[in-house]
Structures are given as structure tokens and as C-alpha cells.
């Protein structure tokens, strides 16, 4: 299929059949894409940061790692990754996070609002949105103090991550709307299914 | 109220009204307690690791930090903490995690199974169990590589953490069943509501 475009500060949702490859591209560099996955046959099975980090024994997920569901089933496997720096600790930005981190700026519904709208046709309620796998998001942790920082992504124009579906999925995907995580500017995200 | 006992490898659930203080005690030392919280008036609002870590800007939560819900509301505030080392990255241990990490041992339903049973009377389904706030769980992260390890807790006999309810809650609480996170032995957890 052709490359699809997610315009800046927006999101989409689509089906991804088992065995298909999803490539998420950062076309301009320094742009985060929040990714969610649900079992297409049972939306109560959803991507789980806690299961994934437990099995991977690392917070730095890259080629060869699998993303697991709340039921401990593999949903996606990372098969190619030109960046190697993604976040799986933080929830999608929302009106509330804008009020918290950017009190002087007009609040945006953020990735949370964009995902909620895109996933609604699949019967997924906003309260079912878990911690997302945040492609290209750069959240280093100080091993001594535990403090985390949200820095500009290290991804360059054209960098990408490819994931293979291990079951039939509904995917939610955004071009992230938060200033800090995207180096201060909002850019599109591209994706392709093969 | 008197001190309550959660026997080894088991769990419980109870209501905690806004303003009440919950003290979780490790009576023998090196024992983890998985803690979940749900809005007592709307069980679709649940404790969220992702929101909490985002607002706290650290993975080392201790006195003064609040634990937030998926809707960005404060559910609990940590008001006393004699340990300062808790985990909020990993999901409750389950039959599946026992198969994964302890393939030679008889599998246990783990904190996940114990929480599912204890929360069922409140109408909370197993799929609604999120990442737990794992009191006393010692999960250091290497800031360079991202690798995490599950080490014995640093808590000594009598160490405790006290949390104040910021809304009416249903709490799930366990004495954790996994060997690695508890230094290889299974001990009770005590708790008190004031």
C-alpha cells in the first residue's frame, strides 16, 4: 500500500491483520507517534506496558522485542528499528496534561482525544486507552534518582520502526501534539502497511 | 482500626473513603504488596502508572507524590514512606508470568489471580486490572541501557508506606506471590485504615 499521512496533531485508527507489517515513519525528524493496539476480535485485550516491560526486562524496546497484551499474548513484534529510542512509560497527552505542563498555552485534546475519536467507531471507550507505545519518544531515566525527562526525539527525517502483527489488531496511531516531546514543533507522521 | 493481615500469596479488596489513611506494612521485611485503586463510584476510573509517572516526572514515587487515575484525578497521596523504593512499571504476577520466569515451578495464579478474585464482588473484571503500584518492590533501571532488574526489596521488618485517599476508592491489595520480587520467600502483608 501507499504511504499514508497522519497530519500534525491528529490521529487515526485501522485494522492490521496478523502477519502484516506496519512501518511508522518520522518524515521530518523529531516527531513522536503514539501507538495503541487492541485484539480485533475482543477489544478488552489491549496492549500492556506492564506485561511488555516485565517480559522484555528493559524499558528500551527495539528490534526483536515483542509488545504484549494485558493477557500476556504477543500483539506485535518489532522487526526493524532505525532509532532505538521509544517510550513505553507515559500515557497519551490530553487536555489535562496540557493544563498541567503548558498552563499558558491553549489546551489541545492531544493524542488522548485524537485516539478516543479514532477508536470510537471500533467500540473502544476513552477509559480503555492504556499507556501507549510512544514511537520515537525520548524519555531518559536517571538510574540513580529515578527522575525522567521528556527530550526531543533523536529520530532524523526518514527514520522508521516496523512492527509485525502477531494477531488481528485494531491500531490507533497519532502524530503527537505535545510541544516538549516533539522538540517544540508539530509535524506529520507517515505509515505504511505491507 | 486494628491491623489486618493478608496471608502470604493472597490478596484482598476493601473500600477506602476519601480522607482515610491506608498504611501498608511489611511485617517481616523484603515483601512486596501490589496495590490497585478504583473510583468507588465509577470503576472505569482506575489508577494509572502512565499519568502518575508523567506528572511526577520520576519513577521513584515517595512521600508527597500523588497517584493519579486514567482521568488525571488524584486518587491517593503518599504521606509517609519509610522505604522510598517502590515499583510502578510492572503488572501483577500471574499464571503467565510464572510460566515465563519460573518454568520449573508449579505455576501460581499470582497477584493477578488474587486481585481478580478479590475485586470481582465490586464488579471489576480481570481485564480491568492495570499496572499496579507495587509497594516495596525493588526494580532498579540502568539509565544507560534501560535494562531493569527485579531485586529483593530493601524494606526491613516493620517498614511501611501510608497513603491518603483523595476520593472514595475501592482498593485491591496483595502479599505478592513471585519468588524473585520477595527475596525468595513468601510472607504476609499487614495493613491498617485510620
Q: pLDDT tens, A56-86?
A: 999 999 999 999 999 999 999 999 999 999 9
CB atoms within 10 A of CB A156: 12
Among the partner residues A72, A97, A130, nearest to B94 by beta-carbon distance? A72
- Taking a C-beta distance cutoff of 8 angstroms, is the pair A67, A51 a contact? no
Alpha helices (H) along A13-166: 49-56, 95-101, 110-119
The pLDDT, as a whole number, for residue A50 is: 98
Average pLDDT over every residue of B138-147 = 97
- Taking only the tens place, the pLDDT of each residue in A178-191 is 999 999 999 999 99
Among the partner residues A50, A71, A100, nearest to B90 by beta-carbon distance? A50
Average pLDDT across chain A, whole number? 97
- Short-list B156, B27, B9, CA closest to B85: B156
Q: At B105, is the pLDDT very low, low, confident or very high (cuts 50, 70, 90)?
A: confident
The pLDDT, as a whole number, for residue B147 is: 98
Alpha helices (H) along A18-147: 49-56, 95-101, 110-119
- Short-list A181, A177, A34, CA closest to A109: A177
The pLDDT, as a whole number, for residue A105 is: 87
Residue B84 at interface with chain A, using a CB cutoff of 8 Å: no
Q: Is the ipTM of this complex over 0.90?
A: yes
Alpha helices (H) along chain A: 49-56, 95-101, 110-119
* Residue ranges, chain A, pLDDT below 50: none
pLDDT at residue B164 greater than cutoff 80: yes
Average pLDDT across chain B, whole number? 97
Mutate to test the interface with A, among B43, B127, B145 (most CBs of A within 10 A): B127
The pLDDT, as a whole number, for residue A172 is: 98
Chain A residues touching B44 at Cβ < 8 A: 125, 127
pLDDT at residue B106 greater than cutoff 90: no
The pLDDT, as a whole number, for residue B94 is: 94
Contact flag A49-B96 (C-beta cutoff 8 Å) = no
Amino acid at each position: 500500500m501507499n504511504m499514508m499521512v497522519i497530519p500534525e496533531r491528529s490521529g487515526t485508527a485501522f485494522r492490521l491483520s496478523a502477519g502484516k507489517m506496519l512501518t511508522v515513519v518520522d518524515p521530518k525528524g523529531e516527531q513522536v507517534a503514539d501507538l495503541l493496539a487492541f485484539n480485533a476480535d475482543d477489544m478488552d485485550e489491549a496492549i500492556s506496558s506492564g506485561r511488555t516491560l516485565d517480559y522484555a526486562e528493559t524499558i528500551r524496546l527495539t528490534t526483536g522485542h515483542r509488545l504484549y497484551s494485558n493477557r500476556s499474548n504477543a500483539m506485535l513484534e518489532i522487526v526493524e528499528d532505525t532509532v532505538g529510542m521509544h517510550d513505553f512509560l507515559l500515557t497519551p497527552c490530553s487536555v489535562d496534561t496540557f493544563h498541567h505542563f503548558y498552563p499558558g498555552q491553549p489546551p489541545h485534546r492531544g493524542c488522548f482525544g485524537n485516539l478516543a475519536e479514532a477508536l470510537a467507531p471500533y467500540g473502544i471507550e476513552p477509559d480503555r486507552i492504556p499507556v501507549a507505545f510512544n514511537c520515537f519518544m525520548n524519555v531518559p531515566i536517571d538510574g540513580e534518582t529515578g527522575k525522567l525527562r521528556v527530550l526531543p526525539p533523536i529520530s532524523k527525517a526518514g527514520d522508521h520502526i516496523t512492527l509485525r502483527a502477531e494477531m488481528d489488531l485494531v491500531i490507533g496511531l497519532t502524530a503527537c501534539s505535545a510541544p516538549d516531546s516533539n522538540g517544540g514543533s508539530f509535524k506529520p507522521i507517515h505509515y505504511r502497511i505491507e
